[in-house]
Amino acid sequence: MTTDHQEEWHRRRRHAVTVHATAQERLRAAEVTQARALVADFARRARERDLPAEQLMARAYSGRGRYRTGLRGWYLKSDRSMAVGEDGEFYLLAVPASLRARVAGVTLRPDDPPLVVGRGGRDGESIPLVTLLERALNGE
């Protein structure tokens, strides 16, 4: 292969990678938009049904220690690792361990909700977000 051919091949390859990455980012953004709408709708429906919200607690990544968040909402999983706040936002409830946070609590920022929770995880246990939300609405 001549140098000109190699350069052309590399140029085309870089272009293909860029096009693919752009398409993936557009898809991710569309999924996040759809998931945010599902989460906001869940919060609205939970309030309409007078589903009791509770104080949301975060856990250290290690699993040891619980931290106040100052948020109220509804847990989506039995391990209490994710929740929807009364503000209609999605939260992952894992934080770095901190003695200061044990006393003062933690401030969480909303996370981008996934359409499929656990997708790509090693344990193979993924579940559609809409299923988790429906279970939470039905008290499961």
Residues of the chain with confidence (pLDDT) below 50: none
User: What is the pLDDT, as a whole number, of residue 123?
Assistant: 63
Q: What is the pLDDT of residue 119?
A: 76
Check residue 15 and give its pLDDT.
83
Q: How far is residue 109 from each of residues 52, 71, 87, 93, 112, measured CA to CA in Å?
A: 22, 11, 12, 10, 10
> What is the three-class DSSP state of 115?
coil
Closest CA to 97 of 136, 63, 131: 63
* pTM of this structure: 0.81
- pLDDT recorded at residue 124: 63
pLDDT at residue 21 in the model:
79
